[in-house]
A = this chain, B = another copy of it.
Amino acid sequence: MGVIKKIFNKSRPSNEKDGIFFDEMKKLLGFKPIALSHYRRAFTHRSSNKTDAQGNPINYERLEFLGDAMLGSVIAAHLFTEAPTGDEGYLTKMRSKIVSREHLNELGRDLDLISWVESNVAPQHFGENIHGNLFEAFIGAIYLDRGFTYCEKFIHKKVIGPYVDIARLEGKVISYKSLLIEWCQKEKKKFHFEVYEDNGVEGQKYFGVRLKIDGNVIAKARATSKKKSEEKASQRAYFALQEKINIK
């Protein structure tokens, strides 16, 4: 296994189809995938009716179970450290908020995981929860491919960094947009939200918004409404700025 890992890890697969998939997974993951089959499975919908040599179905449903567990423990470890005053009940409640179906759907949608799905049904029949399910399955695939540490790395980068904010989850911060506007006024800075994407599809609306401060793009976000995109971009800007200055 060690030897196989080394060979695969060295370079991208030579055949074109696998090579492209490798590149794209690497971009999505932020590190090199090793066994591509796990990621392919993570994008295989049950409608594709694939089976392995033993007749077991190949699709992402079992991976969801695994990914859900890994996500739960990475978030638990993060909350344990970040909320040192919270008791068991508090930690449990916070984790439920982070791994809520709604939140997982948002995460999966933002990564556009659905664009990878292999299926025999049209995307509009998938239902809203497919985004969250794919997200969980993808985490499961990372665990199988690279182990817990890489799972943790991915979750920190894609979930905890951009989305997990304890103050917000506790309901202490209602709107990042108002927090940001307040700060801009105090600092005499000009801000401007700019729509750069509007797919215009009724029922499946999608907006992309850029937040500029003094003419510089500070954050971007996509969501199902303009208001949501602006709030998300404000939150991202808030954290980006916080790293440089004390925004409060």
Contacts and interface: CB of A to CB of B under 8 A. Distances in A.
Given A148-B149, A149-B148, A62 B91 contact: yes
Interface string A131-168: 00000000010011000110010000000000000000
B87 A62 contact: yes
A80 interface: yes
Contacts of A143: 77
Interface stretch (A16-24, A67-75, A102-110): A67-75
Nearest to A72: B69
A65 B88 contact: yes
Given A72-B73, A149-B148, A65 B80 contact: yes
A179 B161 CA distance: 53
A140 B77 CA distance: 9
- For chain A, give the interface size range: 20 to 34
Nearest to A91: B65
Contact of A148 (B72, B75, B92, B148): B148
Contacts of A91: 62, 65
A231 interface: no
17 contacts: A54-B84, A56-B85, A61-B87, A62-B86, A62-B87, A62-B88, A65-B88, A65-B92, A66-B77, A68-B76, A69-B75, A69-B77, A70-B76, A72-B72, A73-B73, A80-B140, A148-B148
Given A62-B87, A69-B77, A80-B144, 19 more contacts: A54-B85, A56-B84, A56-B85, A61-B87, A61-B88, A62-B86, A62-B88, A62-B91, A64-B88, A65-B88, A65-B92, A66-B77, A69-B73, A70-B73, A72-B72, A73-B73, A73-B148, A77-B143, A148-B148
Interface of A: 54, 56, 61-62, 64-66, 68-70, 72-73, 75-77, 80, 84-88, 91-92, 140, 143-144, 148-149, 152
